[in-house]
């Protein structure tokens, strides 16, 4: 197993849109699957959610981690781990980042899976019956990565 450079670790984030987000709630760690977009210009992760356990926890303790991975096989993979700070976005910035998230994910799905998607509901299971989505970013403070090749 070898360490990835920062650039290689960023590429793992850039080439994926599914990861696992880790946060702390009442002193206990939680890890959940998440859909994300890597904003390389802002060095941050963009995502959205609804009111609930995860957002409550991140508002109270904004220190989070996220991992993304590219797995070809058990002996051929790369992963990137970030440590960062949760930041809830509002107003025009939230709209801008949600649009960037949507367009970025649509492009990624088109490149990787050769599918055309038109609506956010086609790649994210978060459907909102009430309220508006809560857009957030994770400002990346540290990134590391690993690679295993056969």
Task: Quote the pLDDT of residue 127.
Answer: 45
Structure tokens at 53: 């356990």
pTM of the complete model: 0.86
Task: Quote the pLDDT of residue 132.
Answer: 78
With the C-alpha atoms ordered 95, 97, 101, 107, is the resulting torsion angle positive or negative? positive
What is the arithmetic mean of pLDDT over 75-97? Answer: 96
Separation of alpha carbons 140 and 24, rounded Å: 17
Predicted confidence (pLDDT) at residue 92 exceeds the cutoff of 80: yes
Residues 6+ apart with CB under 8 A from 115: 109
How far, in Å, are 9, 34, 99, 115, 127 from residue 67 at the CA level? 10, 10, 23, 25, 24
Share of the chain above pLDDT 90, in %: 77
Domain spans, the chain: 2-148
Separation of alpha carbons 121 and 21, rounded Å: 20
Structure tokens at 76: 């051929």
What is the arithmetic mean of pLDDT over 123-146? Answer: 78
Are the beta carbons of 136 and 47 closer than 8 angstroms? yes
What is the arithmetic mean of pLDDT over 23-32? Answer: 97
What is the arithmetic mean of pLDDT over 50-77? Answer: 96
Any idea which fold 2-148 has? Pnp Oxidase; Chain A (2.30.110)
Mean pLDDT of the chain: 90
Separation of alpha carbons 137 and 85, rounded Å: 8
Are the beta carbons of 142 and 58 closer than 8 angstroms? no
């Amino acid at each position: 197993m070898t360490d990835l450079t920062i650039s290689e670790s960023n590429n793992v984030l850039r080439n994926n849109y599914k990861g696992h987000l880790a946060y702390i709630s009442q002193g206990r760690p939680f890890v959940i699957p998440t859909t994300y977009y890597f904003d390389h210009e802002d060095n941050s992760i963009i995502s959205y959610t609804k009111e609930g356990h995860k957002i409550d926890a991140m508002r109270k303790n904004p220190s989070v981690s996220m991992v993304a991975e590219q797995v070809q096989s058990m002996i051929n993979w790369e992963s990137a781990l970030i440590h960062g700070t949760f930041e809830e976005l509002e107003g025009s910035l939230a709209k801008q980042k949600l649009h960037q998230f949507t367009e970025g994910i649509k492009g990624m799905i088109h490149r990787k899976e050769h599918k055309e998607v038109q609506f956010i509901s086609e790649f994210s299971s978060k459907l909102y019956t009430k309220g508006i989505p809560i857009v957030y970013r994770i400002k990346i403070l540290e990134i590391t990565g690993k690679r295993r090749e056969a």
